[in-house]
Amino acid sequence: MEDRFGHRISYLRVSITDRCNERCAYCMPQELQEWLPRAEILTFEETLRLIRIGAELGISKVRVTGGEPLTRRDALGFIRRIREISSIKSIGLSTNGTLLAGEVAPGRTMAGALRAAGVQSLNISLDTLDRQVYARITGRDFHQRVLQGIDAAIAAGFEQIKLNTVLMRGRNEDQLIPLVEFAGQRGLILRFIEMMPVSTAAVLDEDNFLSVREAKRLIESVYGNLIPQSEFRTNGPAVYYQVPGRGQRIGFIGAMTNLHFCESCNKLRLTCDGKLRPCLGSSLEFDIMKPLRAGATDDELKQFFLDVVARKPQQHDFRNNYQPNRKMIAIGG
Ligand SMILES: C[S@@+](CC[C@H](N)C(=O)[O-])C[C@H]1O[C@@H](n2cnc3c(N)ncnc32)[C@H](O)[C@@H]1O
Ligand code: SF4
């Protein structure tokens, strides 16, 4: 699948729930969230059919996300079935880490079970090493659980574990160096993400915005100039650097300030309520659940995918006073 601008679409981000056990200030609206009713959520069967159809069109990488994907019952069984789709070469999962250390069977953690189910790469959110700040950002006192979850993930032997930190002025700029140390000691890739206007929360104010450039400056004031790693790419828009004198890599995701952000975009998103979204930062979305439930054939659904890809915008709309039609939690980051 190729869009009008020559982007080859090979990556599908699949959200399996809009529910979450945390309440991150930048992701959820402050007013109490009403979850979607079960009937409006794609069943795993339906989601797998859409992944298979995407795979036939060239999707080779799937990342499972949410909400918090591990809050959905039998997320593991679902992931095992993704692995059965032979042209999906890579399965990733984005998680807040709170449930990774939980035991799913005697002697087996959720992290271990995910690895065994075929997940190769894990993205774990961690905005701070301070328990109180963590509770303030996420609305929950789960910091200890997340740290245990990270240990469980390391023990499970994933091919790649990345820690994702959303940058927030006034909340976590004093945490950047401790986070670099934490990731370095554990051999994990750390990425700093600019806050995007994807919720209605007050935290998404300009006063709270901290750019990747400023974060990089703060880090360089301690470690010296970071060394660009232009040959190192994961599947996303992060720009990577090496910390001088160490093998450690850190990445910066500057959706708001990096003007080249969209140039290598290879993604399509499927929301848990069956909308295909060609871009995170655009209100465009197309309801594939409707034809799916009305009995569309595989060929018809393939055409639907192709039509969505044909409407993929050249770049996101975040810099144009973007007003989200959907909150991050309901898109799947
Ligand atoms: C929506 S979450 C879903 C997966 C999982 N619950 C988690 O927290 O990792 C995916 C990623 O989106 C990020 N995110 C949420 N809201 C954001 C915002 N307003 N700007 C930038 N990143 C955001 C989170 O920090 C997380 O790394
Ligand atoms: S960022 Fe992840 S953990 Fe936080 S509220 Fe959103 S979905 Fe939940």
User: Ligand 2: which residues within 6 Å by Cβ?
Assistant: 20, 22-24, 27-28, 66-68, 96, 125, 138, 329
pLDDT at 203: 60
Q: What is the pLDDT of residues 43-73, one digit of tens each?
A: 999 999 999 999 999 999 999 999 999 999 9
d(CA 291, CA 249): 44
Secondary structure, 3-state, 130-189? CHHHHHHHHCCCCHHHHHHHHHHHHHHCCCEEEEEEEEECCCCHHHHHHHHHHHHHHCCE
CA dihedral sign, ordered 104, 107, 113, 116: negative
For the chain, the farthest-separated pair of C-alpha atoms sits apart, in whole angstroms, at 59
Query: In angstroms, what is the span from residue 134 Cα to ligand 1's centroid?
Result: 14
Q: What is the pLDDT of residues 193-231, one digit of tens each?
A: 999 877 666 666 778 899 999 999 999 999 999 999 987
Is the pLDDT at 323 greater than 80? The verdict is no
pLDDT at 213: 95
Is the pLDDT at 105 greater than 80? The verdict is yes
pLDDT at 234: 65
- Backbone angle region of 258, left / alpha / beta, with phi > 0 → left and psi within -120 to 50 → alpha: beta
Nearest ligand to the C-alpha atom of residue 127 = 1
Q: How far is CA 275 from CA 1, 24, 85, 330, in A?
A: 18, 23, 21, 11
Nearest residue CA, atom 11 of ligand 1? 333
Q: How far is CA 216 from CA 228, 230, 268, in A?
A: 12, 16, 29
Is the pLDDT at 254 greater than 70? The verdict is yes
